[in-house]
Amino acid sequence: MMARMDRSVAWRAALLQALLLTVTALVLAALLDKQFFEDWGWLAGPAAWAGCAVAVGAILRLPPLATLAGAALAGVPSLITVLIGVHWLGAPFGVALFAAWCGRLAARRAGPMSTPAAA
């Protein structure tokens, strides 16, 4: 059985998460020095990821705790790439996984009688 997904929500979640992460990264990079990220990146990165995900969930009217759980799970690829030394390689995979999670949340919210949204 194939899992239902609202593809419209998934695409919007991917675009919003990528946009918010990019803006956040650029603002933080402009305001803070390299030493901050060396000392506090382990906290700042996940906090930025979670904050952006919560904002995406709010914009798309998804349940906050479920959205945050999906963000945590989707952040695992980024964590793995940080550990192997190629930090930004995991971000696209994390965004894609988070978007799929959001699409499934939206389909679940819509209920079994509704039709999934077209791409």
pLDDT above 70 for 116: no
On whether residue 48 sits in a domain, the answer given is: yes
- Output the pTM of the full model: 0.85
Mean pLDDT of the chain: 90
On whether residue 19 sits in a domain, the answer given is: yes
Distances (CA, A) of 52 to 2, 17, 18, 83, 119: 29, 6, 9, 22, 23
pLDDT above 70 for 11: yes
On whether residue 116 sits in a domain, the answer given is: no
Number of domains comprising the chain: 1
Average pLDDT over residues 6-26: 97
pLDDT above 70 for 88: yes
On whether residue 118 sits in a domain, the answer given is: no
CA distance 64 to 6: 17
Confidence of residue 86 (pLDDT cuts 50, 70, 90): confident
pLDDT for the residue numbered 118? 47
pLDDT for the residue numbered 119? 44
On whether residue 76 sits in a domain, the answer given is: yes
Give me the residue label for tokens 């945050």.
Answer: 68
On whether residue 1 sits in a domain, the answer given is: no
pLDDT for the residue numbered 2? 53
Distances (CA, A) of 31 to 24, 26, 37, 68, 92: 11, 9, 11, 26, 24
Find the helix packing angle between 64-74 and 76-83, rounded to 10°: 30
On whether residue 35 sits in a domain, the answer given is: yes
On whether residue 28 sits in a domain, the answer given is: yes
Domain hosting 29: range is 7-110
